[in-house]
Amino acid sequence: MATRKTAAKAKPNVSKEDLLQYYRDMLLIRRFEEKAGQLYGMGLIGGFCHLYIGQEAVVVGLEAAAKDGDKRITSYRDHGHMLACGMDPKGVMAELTGREGGYSKGKGGSMHMFSKEKDFYGGHGIVAAQVPLGAGLAFADKYKGNDNVTFTYFGDGAANQGQVYETYNMAELWNLPVVFVIENNQYAMGTSTQRSTHSPSYWERGAAYGIKGEEVDGMDVLAVKAAGEKAVAQCRAGKGPYILEVKTYRYRGHSMSDPAKYRTRDEVQKMREERDAIEHVRQMLLTGKHASEDDLKAIDKDIKNIVNESAEFAKESPEPALEELWTDIYADEIPQEAV
Amino acid sequence: MATEILMPALSPTMEEGTLAKWLVKEGDTVSSGDILAEIETDKATMEFEAVDEGTIGKIMVAEGTEGVKVNSPIAVLLEDGESADDVASAAPAQAQEAAPAEAPAAAAPAQVADDTPAPQSNASPDWPEGTEMVQTTVREALRDAMAEEMRRDETVFLMGEEVAEYQGAYKISQGLLDEFGAKRVIDTPITEHGFTGIGVGAAFGGLKPIVEFMTFNFAMQAIDQIINSAAKTLYMSGGQMGAPMVFRGPNGAAARVGAQHSQDYAAWYASIPGLKVVMPYSASDAKGLMKTAIRDPNPVIFLENEILYGKSFDVPKLDDFTVPFGKARIWREGGDVTLVSWGIGMTYAMEAAEKLAEEGIDAEIIDLRTLRPVDYDTVLASVMKTNRCVIVEEGFPVASFSDHMASTIMQRAFDYLDAPVVTCTGKDVPMPYAANLEKLALTSTAEVIEAVKSVTYR
Ligand SMILES: Cc1ncc(C[n+]2csc(CCOP(=O)(O)OP(=O)(O)O)c2C)c(N)n1
Ligand SMILES: [Mg+2]
């Protein structure tokens, strides 16, 4: 792989262990997504499949700012978010292949996956529907009187939906502990931000509702983490919502069947070569003498194994039993939770 | 070890494609992300990227080849140190096995009349005999139900436009703010899509919201959250999480408010698996069903009616009175014809039955009370007895709930019918404003009487 033009300097306030962890977490997402792309090509994954390659630093940085009890919710481009919050790659991959061992028993698919255990609330296929839902999760935490925060992720395309602004209005009015994370990867399918809005500085739109925010370099995991910590601190202190507009880039097409004719190959190549978030951390590890090439190779190998195992599991797990067609339509027990 | 590169599926429907162009040649080294070839799918020309690094050992399908099947080998990739000679021993590419062939669809629950037990109506009373009754309006009954459930369960809260300080646009939440405070009785801005989504999210998060729509006409702005988020999440999450909550408010025509404020949505919501749909007529049902709705762990659509709000009915004086879902109520027994209705439609059915009795026609009246789940058996048992059926609703005629019920009767009780099932519905027009036209657009007692006469051949 090409090297960065400028070797990044290790920033203060990050331990070697943390840096290695971010490297691992981002690499896991990238390798997992590459494998998913491969399985799609083999016909093992069907329908729509939206890869997160290029955007890894966003969720890894924000997860580094989260604590137990915090919640997260996002769109259909959700594999990275699930891996970053600790969901099992096997269960995620098996959901992609529509198998019994998937997180939703094969009934949700790539775009609709959940984990109550990891406080991952989906996985939503309707652009921007997750935004009020995320505010609602934050509403529930505030109602219960705890200090949890909900990370509500959405895209630059979703940022033009009316329900986002309905939500901003209520989130600030009711002081909800929600971090709105706009993953600005510069495209909504084939429409660039320049072609969809006159005001592409999305975070500034919060000002109309009194919500503070900032723009963040989404190719720098440490910058994302730092911004996330600031946002979370504001929420936990009961000061209401915060907006992070994270500038990022997806290397692959919108979904697997996107020929990506709306941007040049050079544009993509330039981002990959000059701004890649994983390469950035890699260089930090090497120049900071936190790890040797061999150490990193060992991590690569380890990740490859995890991903291969997940793919094997996803192929071997059986399709759901036919009776599953008729289950989970109605709940018959009220999930009781203490307030 | 050398691996085969396979023809990829590059769209949800692609089975084969054209290998339009190779962008690498034998001997080239590639790394992950490099474009190997251009492939024409059924939809577009796509670039095909390398996933692994290595050297192109052999190209097996020449460029320009059409009809290359998905998953067939198109090239061989060599790892460090391997030579083209190793090609022969190329691993037969990972996982040739395509997804298991489509399984035959699971059998739908059989609806064959023969081997299903004869439908039985459940006529058990909703309250013990001798219970003291109190005259109560539907409005008060709904408020009492919400208040009782809010006292019982701290996770229950009410949100909507004008529900708190204004005491409810139709005064259904009168007094609730005083008793429960602003934390649990929440005025929202006029922003249906947004506050419905927040309500659904709060339900995902463990609360039991009651979302009031000032009227259900405005819920169309929020219907995506109701259906795609609330109704489907339990299924899509494999049972992990759902939305235990109530969406409620007046539904259907009020009076003289024109087309945009006068629609009955019962059939819309009743067609959605994952929702429960309640449409009470009487005050006792409004109360008992509302309490059941709030306790139900699923999203419940609770369709009220403005015209019924002020009507008084006997409501049993009981500490904890609930009415189960899926149990119809027989308001009047009779042997000549079955009248099926629910909600405001019941007013026409009741009036018609009284007038018909004067002419010697004895109608049995069934109030469905809930449309999902719906009590087919009570209807079928009655039709098997009377052999005739008229269904009354205020909604539009096309794809109405009446049609669904008529079709069920036809499939399960065809041999018992002495006449076609007739439906009395709203007319197939937007609601007009003019008083005379509005009256025409709704169904009426006269229409019900006429329909009954046609099926009894009088
Ligand atoms: C309400 C709605 N409209 C349209 C679509 C189809 N669609 C799916 S993704 C997408 C683009 C969204 O782009 P963005 O929000 O920037 O997210 P990204 O895909 O870049 O992560 C569109 C138009 C949809 N799923 N939902
Ligand atoms: Mg985008």
**What does the domain layout of chain A look like in residue ranges?**
16-312
When mean pLDDT is compared across A167-176, A219-228, B101-110, B297-306, the lowest value belongs to B101-110
| pLDDT tens per residue across span A35-58 | 999 999 999 999 999 999 999 999
Mean pLDDT for A167-184 is: 98
Q: How far is A12 from chain B (nearest CA, A)?
A: 32
pLDDT at A269 over 90: yes
pLDDT at B89: 52
Contact status, residue B448 vs residue B355, Cβ threshold 8 Å: no
Please name the amino acid found at residue A104.
Answer: S
pLDDT at A224 over 90: yes
B11 at interface of A, judged by CB pairs closer than 8 A:
yes
Q: Which atom of ligand 1 is nearest to the CA of A189?
A: 11
pLDDT at A23 over 50: yes
Whether omega for the bond prior to residue B373 falls within 30 degrees of 0, making it cis, is yes
Band the pLDDT of A333: cuts 50, 70, 90: low
Q: How far is B103 from chain A (nearest CA, A)?
A: 8
The DSSP call for residue B88 is: G
Cβ-based neighbour number of residue B3 at 10 Å:
20
Assess whether the C-beta atom of A54 lies below 6 angstroms from ligand 1. Answer: no
Band the pLDDT of A126: cuts 50, 70, 90: very high
State the angle between helix axes of A277-287 and A56-63 in degrees (0 to 180), rounded to the nearest 10: 60
> Within its chain, how far is the Cα of B434 from the centroid?
33
CATH number of the domain located at residue range(s) A16-312 in this protein: 3.40.50.970
Assess whether the C-beta atom of A153 lies below 6 angstroms from ligand 1. Answer: no
Residue of A nearest to B52 (CA): A34
**Active site residues per annotation of B:** 192, 261
Question: Which residues of chain B neighbour A265 with C-beta distances below 8 Å?
Answer: 35, 47
Mean pLDDT of chain A: 94
Sign of the CA dihedral with A288 first, then A293, A298, and A299 last: positive
Band the pLDDT of A8: cuts 50, 70, 90: very low
For the CA of A186, the nearest ligand: 2
Residue of A nearest to B11 (CA): A257
Do A132 and B276 count as a contact with CB atoms less than 8 A apart? Answer: no
- Write out the two tokens for B68: 């290359």
Contact status, residue B371 vs residue B270, Cβ threshold 8 Å: yes
Ligand 1 center from residue A156 Cα (angstroms): 9
The percent of chain B in helix, strand and coil, each rounded to the nearest 5, is: 30, 25, 45
Cβ-based neighbour number of residue B215 at 10 Å:
22
Q: For each successive 10 residues of chain B (458 residues), what is the average pLDDT?
A: 87 89 93 87 84 89 93 90 63 44 45 69 90 98 98 98 96 97 98 98 98 98 98 98 98 94 98 98 98 98 98 97 97 98 98 98 98 98 98 98 98 98 98 96 98 96
pLDDT at B84: 63
A293 at interface of B, judged by CB pairs closer than 8 A:
no
Contact status, residue A252 vs residue A51, Cβ threshold 8 Å: yes
Number of H helices, E strands in chain A: 11, 8
- Write out the two tokens for B165: 């300080």
Assess whether the C-beta atom of A220 lies below 6 angstroms from ligand 1. Answer: no
Mean pLDDT for A203-213 is: 98
Angstrom CA distances, B95 to A31, A107, A311, A312, stand at 18, 23, 10, 9
pLDDT at B93: 44
pLDDT at B115: 66
Nearest CA to ligand 1 atom 17: A155
Closest partner residue to B9 (CB to CB) among A41, A132, A162 is: A41
pLDDT at A217: 98
Q: Give CA–CA dist B72/B17, Å, rounded.
A: 11
Band the pLDDT of A137: cuts 50, 70, 90: very high
pLDDT at B46: 87
Walk me through the domains of chain B, giving residue ranges and CATH numbers: 3-87 (2.40.50.100), 133-316 (3.40.50.970), 329-455 (3.40.50.920)
Cβ-based neighbour number of residue A230 at 10 Å:
16
**Best of A99, A252, A330, A334 to mutate (most B CBs within 10 Å, chain B):** A330
